[in-house]
Structure 1
Amino acid sequence: MVISEMDAAQVAAYFRGKNILITGATGFLGKVLLEKILRIQPDVTRLFLLVRATDDESARQRVQTEVTGREIFQVLREKHGKGFEDFIEEKVCPLAGDVMYEDFGLDTAKLKEVSKVVDIIVNGAATTNFYERYDVSFDTNVLGAKQICALANKCTKLKMLLHVSTATYVVNKRD
């Protein structure tokens, strides 16, 4: 399916004024999604990024190092110049947590804040390490999706829950 310019404009317009929770933002697709949203719809209200970290400051550092500090954000960096960091700080809210835990391990105040404002949840959190222990893969890829759904039920303004998977399996049959 090819998305026409009209459809792309409608998608961009849909994000205007929305609060979006993204899991897996430090992964390949998460970085691309975050950059694209910030570039084509700078009027998004807030992007909450769930990041595995011990506290919000560690989460902020991880986002800065592994996400917004990467080359993919160069166009935005050039567009905003010296105001790039302020723009990111205004739009991006790193959350220390993990999809494996109930309520992502967020404290009560943070959970209440997020669940009151989130319009869209994009779940891109997963382990794609094919050599990972099965229990670790199961906790992240299966129980994580369950926790996403549980949190989604608490979000009073939720309009969309999108689950994304980066793992694609292809079978090549040779005769």
Structure 2
Amino acid sequence: MHQQQAPSALLREYLNELTLACHQSGADRLPVLDLACGFGRNGLYLVSQDLPVLFADLNTYALAQIEQQAAALNAQGLASYWHQDFELPGSTPLKGKVFSAVLVFRYLHRPLMAAIKQAVKPGGVIIYETFTRAQAEFGRPKNPDFLLEPGELAACFSHWHMRHHFEGIVESNGVKQAIARIVAVKPDE
């Protein structure tokens, strides 16, 4: 079984906003979308906090691991799984879908940005964290297609209610990374 990493500190810090966004959906709570979830460390934390999560990823092995861990948490009713290639040319996988929140960590596919924004319900939350162009100095990824330009993430969500914004260098266990992160609430339309 995959060794699970700790969830992002942003999730603990903004758990109330995520919970509120889920409960505003009424009796049929809209799930949180954990987009390109990998092994689900962030979504599993939310499931453990009684929030519904749709885990979406291309990696079927990772999704199977998440399913096992959700079962161990007795959270099968809160977790659902979506095997999806979000980069398939010509596809629009988020079209018509609505979520109480969307989590995106360490993933960037610019053609998907407008669809991500559309998929968050009014009053819903986006938590997004990924690498900036400066990351190429410290290691992978180095491909500019996967690296944000300075100010790009904040600009993309500039009309939303920004709760948190950071862009810079972080260090963990002696490893430096260049990242941008936001937590924002979609305005009521």
Structure 1 length as normaliser, TM-score?
A: 0.46
Which protein, 1 or 2, shows the higher relative CO under an 8 Å CA cutoff with sep ≥ 6? 1
Q: When you count strand as a share of all residues, which structure comes out higher?
A: 2
Q: When you count helix as a share of all residues, which structure comes out higher?
A: 1
Higher CA-based Rg: 1
Structure 2 length as normaliser, TM-score?
A: 0.44
